[in-house]
Amino acid sequence: MKKGHWSPEEHEYLRNHYTKDGSINVGKFLNRSHRAVGCMARYLGLKRGWGNKPRYRKYAVNDQVFKTWSRVSAYLIGAILADGNIGEREFNIVSKDENWLKKIKSALKSEHPISVFTGQNTYRLRIGNKSMVNDLKSIGLTENKSKTLTLPDVPDRFFFDFLRGYIDGDGSIWYRPKKSLIIKITTGSPYILDDLSDTITKLLGIERHAPSVCVQKRHQGISTWYNLTYCGNCAANICEALYSNSSDLCLTRKKHAFLSYKNRSKRDERSKGNASKYYSD
């Protein structure tokens, strides 16, 4: 394989073929390594070439979804805020529930693949679209958000769609027969829990709940997180608002926990509160 000085003929061939053929094919023709071809191309200021292989594969997606607030966009933003992360050109949603990611993918009208982390039973939907990332950042989503996360400026009429997405990502709903319906939201930031509690109180008239702090010693040091918990009638009122107009865009097992609570024996029934009034208009 040739090394050293490049001839004018090689320079000319590189200029004519680098962009369309790529460094590997040009290197084979000139009997030079693809690294040497790449270095010389950069020296000559040539546009990077990839031959017949595209640098990024294009997948269809509805890149308009985050430009306006809607029930769908509010839910997706809540899910991304809870179980996702944002880069400069892409955003990801990670979950152990593949079916949930398929629902999100469908809501985004996306053709992006869902990848699996081998051995971890965890799935990821990665959407590479800078325009959508910019829309999310304009709403208030940022990188490295876990400890300082606050509630975006969600319109009241879409708040419970947002909250449903956030709970599906970072919360739990369960029903213990003869005991209670419970909602618990867990996160590393106390600020968003304060915001959620205030908004729930404003919209449903439920007494404000303060987040609780949990601290645990681990090998890496001390881990701190925060919980916002609702039980009984308070949880039922919130669930009524969460699922009144949810259609199928939700994590099924959490909705079923609420439905099990609603279908309990009549002697255990309690008031549903004023959650239905929130959607009456």
DSSP reduced 3-state for 242? helix
Q: Is residue 65 part of a domain?
A: no
pLDDT attached to residue 20 = 79
Confidence of residue 267 (pLDDT cuts 50, 70, 90): very low
Helices (H), 68-204: 71-83, 98-107, 130-139, 159-170, 190-204
Residues paired with 185 in a beta bridge: 171, 228
pLDDT attached to residue 274 = 44
Beta strands in the chain (DSSP E): 84-86, 90-95, 114-117, 122-128, 171-176, 180-187, 212-218, 221-231
Indicate if 112 and 35 belong to the same structural domain. Answer: no
Check which CATH number belongs to the domain holding 86 and give it: 3.10.28.10
Nearest CA among 75, 82, 83, 91 for reference residue 135: 91
pLDDT attached to residue 146 = 66
- CA-to-CA distance for 135 and 86, rounded, in angstroms? 11
Q: Is residue 66 part of a domain?
A: no
pLDDT attached to residue 49 = 59
pLDDT at 212 > cutoff 80: yes
Confidence of residue 138 (pLDDT cuts 50, 70, 90): very high
pLDDT at 118 > cutoff 90: no
Residue 101's Cα: distance from chain center in Å?
9
Query: Residue 273 has which token pair?
Result: 């509160």
Q: Any residues with CB less than 8 A from the CB of 36 and at least 6 apart, and which?
A: 3, 27
Indicate if 146 and 175 belong to the same structural domain. Answer: yes
Q: Is residue 127 part of a domain?
A: yes
pLDDT attached to residue 56 = 53
Indicate if 215 and 106 belong to the same structural domain. Answer: yes
Indicate if 85 and 50 belong to the same structural domain. Answer: no
Indicate if 101 and 31 belong to the same structural domain. Answer: no
Q: Is residue 64 part of a domain?
A: no
Indicate if 165 and 256 belong to the same structural domain. Answer: yes
Indicate if 46 and 79 belong to the same structural domain. Answer: no
Q: Is residue 117 part of a domain?
A: yes
pLDDT attached to residue 142 = 81
**What is the span of the domain harbouring residue 14?**
1-55
- CA-to-CA distance for 163 and 74, rounded, in angstroms? 8
- Decide which of 29, 55, 81 is a domain's last residue: 55
Q: Is residue 62 part of a domain?
A: no
Choose the most confident range, by mean pLDDT, from 20-24, 25-29, 46-50, 75-79. Answer: 75-79
Average pLDDT over residues 96-113: 94
pLDDT attached to residue 215 = 83
Indicate if 190 and 218 belong to the same structural domain. Answer: yes
Residue 70: Cβ within 10 Å count: 15
The residue with greater pLDDT, 178 or 124, is 124
Average pLDDT over residues 168-176: 92
Nearest CA among 195, 168, 200 for reference residue 184: 168
- CA-to-CA distance for 275 and 197, rounded, in angstroms? 15
| Residues 187-208 pLDDT 10s | 988 899 999 999 999 999 999 9
pLDDT at 156 > cutoff 90: yes
Which amino acid appears at position 4 of this protein? G
**What total of structural domains would you count in the chain?**
2
Average pLDDT over residues 159-182: 91
The residue with greater pLDDT, 77 or 221, is 77
Indicate if 126 and 194 belong to the same structural domain. Answer: yes
pLDDT at 123 > cutoff 70: yes
Indicate if 123 and 37 belong to the same structural domain. Answer: no
pLDDT attached to residue 255 = 93
Torsion, Cα 99 244 236 199, to 10 degrees, reads: 100
pLDDT attached to residue 159 = 97
pLDDT at 219 > cutoff 80: no
Which amino acid appears at position 36 of this protein? A
| Residues 52-100 pLDDT 10s | 555 556 789 999 999 999 999 999 999 999 988 898 889 999 999 999 9
Indicate the angle between helix axes 232-243 and 159-170, nearest 10 degrees: 110
